[in-house]
Amino acid sequence: MSVLEVKDLLISFNQYTSGLKQQQLNVISNLTITLEKGEILAVVGASGSGKSLLAHAILGILPSNANVSGTLRYDGEVLTPAKQASLRGSEIALIPQSVNYLDPLMRVGNQVRTSARVENPVTAQRKVFERLHLHENVEKMYPFQLSGGMARRTLLSTAIVSGAKVIIADEPTPGLDPVVIKEAMESFRELADSGCAVMLITHDIVSALSIADKIAVFYAGTTVEIAPVENFAGDGEALRHPYSKALWRALPQNDFIPIPGAQPHPGDLPPGCLFAPRCPLATPECDRGQPEMRTLRDGMVRCIHAT
Amino acid sequence: MQLEARNISFRYGNGPYLFRGVNVTVEQGEIVGLTAPSGRGKTTLCRILAGFEKPLEGSVTIDGIPVSSKGFHPVQLVLQHPEKAVNPRWKMEKVLSEGGKPDSELLSLLGIEKEWLTRWPNELSGGELQRFCVVRALNTNTRFLIADEMTTMLDAITQAQIWHAVLEVAKARGMGIIIVSHEEMLIQRLCDRVIELK
């Protein structure tokens, strides 16, 4: 059974334009995604496509000018703001994207211990630090004394010791060296194998491929494809959506050739398919409304031309 | 033209030495990768090369002459987090002007749209902001560019777009580049040689 279910999620922000005039910016639309027990779902896609917002919506920590509609369910129950407040940190843990989330006035060892809800917090913290190659004296340091990579590993540690059932990792690995990335990825796999559901938001498609079960590709605030990991191989011919293919081919180990253009701004979305203005397959039909997500070859895709 | 860091040592306050006796040379037009495990002082070394930090021992020279602390610094640094590298209370036009007036060709090469210039930094995505930081660093007086995890936070398409643009500029001007990255594949793809900091 799905432990976490997101259905038709829509997030918009009220923004002041000039004076007292406000406008609504739709930053996430029609987003549907499920997390299963024991499974790792990697979320990849364009920068600014709403990946972090999804994470924050699940935890109920969006800023106050955000409007959320659609349904979020945890273990079959609807997630209300009160429910979210009681679950976050205990049942649902977030590894935030920014290292600014560490408490600047607390030694990092203590920060990790406060989130440990299992066994002896001190041993749990030391064990996880050793695993992630953090030296013993790091636990006595304050965040400003850490390098970027050390701060990231501290954030990772808090989630690993939390004993949460759902872990949402928002870009946990940038700035880490390959050895530590491997350890981090293996810890995620172990958490999943012990029954956790893990959502891994990342740009590091290659690392994600080594541990994830499924990959969701985001573009301009919605999912364009959900594919099993095996599809990310070769020239990307097994992928369904033209954006996923372009993303795969732009990797340095593949062609490293980018498609031109940029993701549309939320205030200025195209009328139909959000990718149509950059799509090599686009036809006039594509402008007639956003395509629905449909099942195709063991995955899902939001494109009328995909085969 | 050659950028040379000779026998550099550094530590913060009375802490342990972050590194001692580090030597780095980069020739004009050369693209050099710099790798090391996290916490070994890669970013600090970059800051020393770009003149933001003074080394305790050793010297940084260009063609044998110490880099002047006055005027435009010929070594420019682009950081990993663009949102921390721009003044949040300035519109993008003003942010750009810190690095001199950029020509429109450079702007279009990096895919910056005219309309973005009147926006505030928080109204742009990380990828869009990073394009501005790159342009700001690419003044015509820039001889060496240091990219410290410059595209780590960006998706693969944006990463490839920015690197293609930067390489084009570097080639045209004979600019040297130091690339700090943990992404082995990116380093392999871009660099002429790699220095490993031990």
Q: Does A206 touch chain B (CB under 8 A)?
A: yes
Average the pLDDT over A163-167 and give the result: 92
Domain residue extents for chain A: 2-91+165-175+201-301
Q: Give the containing element (helix H, strand E) for A201.
A: strand A197-201
- Closest listed residue to residue B19, CA positions, set B1, B3, B5, B32: B5
Q: Does A176 touch chain B (CB under 8 A)?
A: yes
Query: Tell me: the pLDDT tens digits for B68-108?
Result: 888 899 999 999 889 889 999 999 999 999 988 888 899 99
Q: Does A262 touch chain B (CB under 8 A)?
A: yes
C-beta atoms of A148 and B80 within 8 A: yes
C-beta atoms of A256 and B189 within 8 A: yes
pLDDT at site A295: 94
- At position B76, the amino acid (one-letter code) is Q
**Cα dihedral A41→A42→A47→A51 (10° resolution):** 20
A2-91+165-175+201-301 folds as Rossmann fold (3.40.50)
pLDDT at site A173: 84
pLDDT band with cut points at 50, 70 and 90 for residue A279: very high
Q: Which one of B125, B149, B157 has the shortest CB-CB distance to A174? A: B149
Q: Does A258 touch chain B (CB under 8 A)?
A: yes
Instruction: Give A223 to chain B, closest Cα distance, Å.
Output: 15
Report the residue of chain B nearest A43, measured CA to CA: B155
Length of chain B: 198
Within 8 A by CB and 6+ apart from A179, the residues are A133, B37
pLDDT at site B84: 86
- Closest listed residue to residue A66, CA positions, set A20, A10, A17, A21: A10
Average the pLDDT over B112-126 and give the result: 86
Cα end-to-end span (Å), chain A: 29
Average the pLDDT over A269-284 and give the result: 94
pLDDT value at A21 more than 90: no
- At position A229, the amino acid (one-letter code) is V
Hey, how many other C-beta atoms are within 10 angstroms of the C-beta on A222?
Answer: 22
pLDDT band with cut points at 50, 70 and 90 for residue B198: confident
B157 contacts in A (CB within 8 Å)?
46, 246-247, 250, 258-259
Report the residue of chain A nearest B115, measured CA to CA: A265
Share the mean pLDDT of chain A.
91
Hey, how many other C-beta atoms are within 10 angstroms of the C-beta on A246?
Answer: 23
pLDDT band with cut points at 50, 70 and 90 for residue B170: very high
pTM of the model as a whole = 0.88
Instruction: Give B73 to chain A, closest Cα distance, Å.
Output: 25
Number of A to B CB contacts under 8 A, please give it.
106
Question: What sign for the dihedral angle of Cα A194, A195, A199, A204?
Answer: positive
Question: What sign for the dihedral angle of Cα B124, B130, B135, B139?
Answer: positive
Chain CA centroid to CA A273, Å: 22
pLDDT value at A91 more than 90: yes
Q: CB–CB of A167/A188 below 8 Å?
A: yes
Helical ranges in chain B per DSSP H:
42-49, 92-97, 104-109, 126-137, 156-173, 184-190
Query: Tell me: the pLDDT tens digits for A130-141?
Result: 988 899 999 999
Q: CB–CB of A31/A54 below 8 Å?
A: yes
pLDDT at site B191: 97
pLDDT at site A177: 81
Buried b (16+ CB within 10 A) or exposed e, B159-192: bbbbbebbeebbeeeebbbbbbbbbbebbeebbe
